[in-house]
Structure 1
Amino acid sequence: MAVTWFNDFYKQIADSPLSHWLEVLPAQIAHWQKEQLHGDFNKWVKLLDKLPKTQPSKIELKNKVEFGQVEDINDYTQKHITGLLKQFAPWRKGPFDLHGIHIDTEWRSDWKWDRVKPHIHSLKDRYVLDVGCGSGYHMWRMLGEDAKMVVGADPSQLFLMQFQALKHFNPSPNNHNIHLLPVGVEQLPELKAFDTVFSMGVLYHRRSPIDFLYQLKSQLRKGGELILETLVVEGDETTVFMPGERYAQMRNVWYLPSTAALTVWMQRVGFKNIKVVDLDQTSIEEQRATDWMDGQSLVDFLDPEDNNKTIEGYPAPLRAVIVAQV
């Protein structure tokens, strides 16, 4: 059953800098499994079991996430896999390519990775944590940069299922070096062990962003690097915007600081060498509805007369990437 997905991770970290995580994690995972009341959870597990085993002739993680080519399987198998994977919709972050099947996700997460990657320390042989990792697109790209181990933390059941579905198609040895755990950041102990921590698209969902920054800092070893990507607004070091009930139709958006204000927050928490390395307004080409996510998307959340404003009249989503050390 699902809990066996994590046994390999337990064994791997037993003799690693993450070993003290074993004091709490197995109990948390066991509790998580008992609490699986989502109506689709058991259905998703059965769907995973139906995915056919394939032998991918090519695995690409450096420039995109691709497992196998179209020639590796016949038309029937390709249609069978497509039908199964469509039942894990909506697919938010990607894209992924599986034996010629293009999972065209809502987000072009590869564009975000292209903006982030030039500004980070090499991930080679590093322990990497991705907090709020979604279905794991960026984790695969981190693995493609030769990280020693990539760990994702995200409590969403659907994201875990999507990750497990993708992992099914990677038989290579590096499959043992990537793991998604269904836990929230508040469940993480102070590991102080990761070389690099990513948090992309999470800060503005937290009611207490300062506490969240402390939680991220507590996962890093001395000298480790944080890559923080979040929504911001224009302004000076005193500018922090709190929207009303919704922002771009999202209910769970709390604080949008300016990059200057966010820098002050991070300094107060104890981060050093804080640099704003990218600022980018999200386009309707980067976030949009597709056959794999056919609900409303960014174009529906912006003012139809002015894409520089949300439908509520607020500034349109502006995203910053900040790199810092501890």
Structure 2
Amino acid sequence: MKQNKYDDLGFFGKYSEMPRSVGGLNAAGEWPVLRTMLPALRDKRVLDLGCGFGWHCKYAREQQARSVVGVDLSEKMLAYARENNNDSAIEYRRLAIEDINFAAGEFDVVISSLALHYVEHFEIVCSKIHHCLVSGGTFVLSVEHPVFTALAAQDWYYGSEGERLHWPVDDYQKEGLRQARFLDNDVVKYHRTIATYVNALIDSGFSVMKLSEPQPTQETLDKYPEMKDETRRPIFLLIAAVKN
């Protein structure tokens, strides 16, 4: 399923008001860790899958990447990227992640930030990424953590006074589609276990180099105190892998 909620005017408006949409990478709680998992980007050919507003594309060029291709299905996201994170060495393409078909060895680094949990067949995308990377190329991705995606409700268990008691986890082993609510809209996501993410990469020919389940830094918590409960359970899963 290839959904494109971000071109819905109401949804896009709400998404544009989120801290990470306004503040870019510095407002993304996982960014301090994700950044350390990226290889040196100088003179590299970079592909960003689900590039959104183009923040990672811009960062790659700031790190002197030779060229960057940003792929996203949303025309509204790409229009923002072209206007605000434009660069002659960045090419933005409107394309579903599932439909990529790049040449063998076309890229040195592939990045995908919080997009692949919207993709039904992760293993197929892994194979396509493996194909378009050079030998020794790096694939770094972030997804919503399986603890977060296991239940479609994606919400806390509350006490009688409305206090957040705990984060419920159920149906963890039951992989597949979840009809979740995000920004007051129904959004299709796909739940996978950590093992499925890792084994899909291994089966596609990658060596997994590092995993991370980051929590917000103290600096981020000081700036965004509403994120204080993000230290109580993982919300993101980050993986760095290298093509064998």
Fold-level match, TM-score > 0.5? yes
In structure 1, the residue matched to 2:16 is 91
Q: What whole-Å deviation, never above 9, does each CA across 1:134-192 have from its counterpart, x for those lacking one?
A: 01011111111110011100010111111122146xxxxxx211121111223322422
In structure 2, the residue matched to 1:196 is 109
1:105 and 1:322, CA in 2 relative to 1: closer, same or farther beyond 3 A?
Answer: closer
1:39 and 1:231, CA in 2 relative to 1: closer, same or farther beyond 3 A?
Answer: closer
Contact 1:278 1:321 in 2 (8 A): yes
1:233 and 1:167, CA in 2 relative to 1: closer, same or farther beyond 3 A?
Answer: closer
Q: Residue 142 of structure 1 is aligned with which of 27, 35, 60?
A: 60
- Counterpart amino acid of residue 268 in structure 1: D
Q: Residue 210 of structure 2 is aligned with which of 276, 295, 312?
A: 276
Cα RMSD for the two superposed structures: 3.8
Q: What whole-Å deviation, never above 9, does each CA across 1:102-140 have from its counterpart, x for those lacking one?
A: x4469923x433211222221000000000010101111
Cα distance in 2 for residues equivalent to 1:271 and 1:106: 27
Summarize the alignment of residues 34-183 of structure 1 with structure 2, pairs less than 5 Å apart: 90-91=15-16, 103-104=22-23, 108-109=27-28, 111-167=29-85, 175-183=87-95
- Counterpart amino acid of residue 204 in structure 2: V
Cα distance in 2 for residues equivalent to 1:139 and 1:106: 11
1:242 and 1:121, CA in 2 relative to 1: closer, same or farther beyond 3 A?
Answer: same
Structure 2 residue 179 is matched with structure 1 residue 245: yes
Moved more, 212-221 or 154-163: 212-221
Q: Bigger radius of gyration, 1 or 2?
A: 1
In structure 2, the residue matched to 1:262 is 197
Structure 2 residue 120 is matched with structure 1 residue 184: no
Which ranges of structure 1 fall in alignment gaps of 5 or more residues?
Answer: 1-37, 41-86, 97-102, 169-174, 291-298, 309-314
Which structure carries more strand by proportion?
Answer: 2
3-state DSSP of counterpart to 2:241: strand
In structure 1, the residue matched to 2:130 is 217
Percent identity reads: 18
Contact 1:93 1:108 in 2 (8 A): no
Contact 1:229 1:319 in 2 (8 A): yes
Would you say how many aligned residue pairs link Structure 1 and Structure 2?
Answer: 204
1:316 and 1:127, CA in 2 relative to 1: closer, same or farther beyond 3 A?
Answer: same
1:324 and 1:159, CA in 2 relative to 1: closer, same or farther beyond 3 A?
Answer: same
Q: What whole-Å deviation, never above 9, does each CA across 1:192-227 have from its counterpart, x for those lacking one?
A: 210000011122111112112122222212221100
- Counterpart amino acid of residue 141 in structure 1: Y
Contact 2:120 2:190 in 1 (8 A): yes
3-state DSSP of counterpart to 1:253: strand
Moved more, 226-235 or 159-168: 226-235
Greater relative CO, 1 or 2 (CA 8 Å, sep 6+):
2
Cα distance in 2 for residues equivalent to 1:210 and 1:266: 7
Contact 1:91 1:106 in 2 (8 A): no
In structure 1, the residue matched to 2:160 is none
- Counterpart amino acid of residue 108 in structure 1: A
Cα distance in 1 for residues equivalent to 2:35 and 2:177: 30
1:145 and 1:104, CA in 2 relative to 1: closer, same or farther beyond 3 A?
Answer: closer
3-state DSSP of counterpart to 2:202: helix
In structure 1, the residue matched to 2:140 is 227
